[in-house]
């Protein structure tokens, strides 16, 4: 069966109805004969890889509490009671890494992630407990929104739930990438099924057997039985083909059917990369990659793929975890320095420039490279041949001469 015929059989021609999408029912909205839900989507290797890359990239980033200073600087508040909660252990069962990984997984699957804020008697957060997104609904009562847990029947105030969400139509519920792009994902799943069907009958010998002699019925039967016995299973691929009766093996080029499969498979990976905003090379698709564009794509991945998630998480946590008198002064922030670091050569050139203009000290550079500070390393240096025009004038020399020199240059 040709690949196009295969997909004509598994895909129906009915279009999906428009309207609001319930994230709990997206498995029935794929528009394909292949059901797409959180479980089946993850069996597509490109989807698994994209979600893993996003989840692990965010989970590995340190998250800290900062305090704004009057001069515009910020300092880390490691002594704040929330620091250990967000940086080390959000709840009894999770590390900060597992916690963020769970949040990102939920966002990639359903478009929403819910974390209950457990507070003590004084309203201070003491635990952050992840919830199942399938159990949470947003309801409205007396012009106020609250979160309803359909599993326990419990109702939680809006300020007692961290609700992380990606692209949203109404600002309340995020859209599921798996649901919204179900047709593209089902195409990839269909390709996997086709590939399994294509190869399940064993080795695909890329050639024909030819002979100038007329074979007897016994010779044909013996050849067929020998081939079925030795070359019909998947594990028999690439075995040495032993010929008899004057047979010759003539290799043939890749069939159109196989070529269509490979091209479609390539396109399906690009589609998943597009859906999750992950560079194809991170999904191990290097067909259009070079050393230079991989570096640029990696930087764009941080800026355009990860940063929207990070900003959204930072703002939601800052808005709901701090007391009223702390808001505007304290804030939660991810440290993205490790992800934004360039190559060793690029970093060396950057540090050299910053050191020469007095913008960074030696110890500041060493700290960014995870190196211990050194004595007298906090001094700022500047090249002697660099100074402002005012400094030159004050040091002696006519203002008119300086201005004339600047004009002449």
For residue 178, what pLDDT band results from cuts at 50, 70 and 90?
A: very high
* Strand 125-130, strand 144-149: pairing: unpaired
Strand partners, 196: none
Query: What is the band of 100 on the pLDDT scale with cuts at 50, 70, 90?
Result: very high
Report which of residues 143 and 395 the model is more confident about: 143
- The per-residue DSSP string of 255-270 comes to PHHHHHHHHHHHHHHH
DSSP string, 290-309: -HHHHHHHHHHIIIIIIHHH
Burial 349-367 (b: 16+ CB within 10 A, else e): eebeeebeeeebbbbbbee
Residues in CB range of 370: below 8 A, 6 or more apart: none
End-to-end Cα spacing for the chain: 75
Query: Which residues make Cβ contacts (< 8 Å) with residue 374, sequence separation at least 6?
Result: 362, 363, 366
Integer angstrom CA distances of residue 103 from 11, 41, 62, 145, 255:
33, 18, 15, 22, 45
d(CA 407, CA 401): 10
pTM (2 d.p.): 0.71
Q: How far apart are CA 89 and CA 98, in angstroms?
A: 9
% of the chain at pLDDT higher than 90: 33
Closest by CA position to 328, among listed 63, 115, 66 = 66
Judged by average pLDDT, the poorest of 27-36, 102-111, 263-272 is 27-36
Asked if residue 2 has pLDDT above 70, the reply is: no
Distance (Å, whole) CA 268 – CA 178: 14
3-state secondary structure of 161: strand
Q: Please write the tens of the pLDDT for every residue from 294-340.
A: 777 778 888 889 999 999 999 999 999 999 899 889 999 998 876 77
| Residue 41 near residue 180, CB atoms below 8 Å | no
């Amino acid at each position: 069966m040709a690949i196009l015929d295969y997909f004509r059989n598994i895909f129906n021609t009915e279009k999906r109805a428009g309207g609001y999408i319930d994230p709990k029912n997206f498995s029935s909205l794929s528009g394909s004969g292949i059901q797409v839900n959180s479980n089946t989507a993850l069996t597509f290797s490109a989807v698994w890889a994209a979600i893993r890359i996003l989840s692990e990239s965010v989970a590995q980033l340190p998250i800290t509490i900062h305090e704004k200073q009057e001069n515009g600087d910020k300092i880390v508040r490691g002594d704040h009671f929330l620091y250990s909660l967000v940086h080390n252990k959000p709840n009894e069962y999770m590390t900060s890494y597992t916690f963020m990984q769970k949040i990102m997984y939920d966002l990639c699957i359903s478009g929403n992630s819910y974390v209950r804020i457990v507070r003590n008697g004084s309203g201070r957060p003491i635990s952050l407990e992840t919830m199942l997104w399938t159990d949470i609904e947003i309801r409205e009562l007396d012009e106020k929104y609250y979160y309803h847990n359909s599993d326990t029947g419990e109702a939680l105030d809006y300020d007692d739930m961290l609700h992380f969400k990606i692209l949203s139509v109404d600002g309340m519920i995020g859209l599921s990438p798996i649901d919204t792009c179900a047709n593209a994902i089902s195409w990839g799943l269909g390709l996997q099924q086709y590939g399994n069907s294509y190869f399940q009958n064993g080795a695909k010998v890329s050639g024909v057997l030819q002979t100038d002699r007329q074979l007897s019925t016994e010779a044909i039967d013996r050849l067929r039985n020998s081939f079925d016995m030795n070359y019909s299973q998947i594990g028999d691929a690439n075995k040495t083909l032993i010929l008899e009766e004057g047979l010759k093996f003539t290799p043939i080029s890749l069939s159109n059917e196989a070529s269509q499969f490979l091209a479609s498979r390539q396109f399906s990976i690009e589609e998943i990369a597009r859906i999750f905003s992950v560079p194809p090379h991170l999904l191990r698709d290097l067909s259009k990659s070079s050393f230079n564009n991989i570096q640029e794509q990696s930087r764009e991945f941080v800026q355009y793929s990860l940063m929207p998630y990070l900003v959204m998480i930072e703002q939601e946590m800052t808005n709901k975890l701090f007391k009223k008198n702390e808001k505007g002064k304290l804030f939660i922030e991810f440290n993205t320095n490790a992800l934004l670091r360039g190559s060793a050569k690029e970093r060396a050139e950057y540090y050299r420039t910053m050191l020469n203009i007095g913008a960074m000290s030696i110890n500041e550079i060493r700290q960014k490279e995870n190196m211990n500070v050194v004595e007298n390393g906090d001094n700022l240096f500047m090249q002697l041949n660099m100074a402002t025009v005012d400094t030159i004038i004050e040091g002696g020399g006519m203002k008119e001469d300086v201005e004339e020199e600047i004009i002449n240059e």
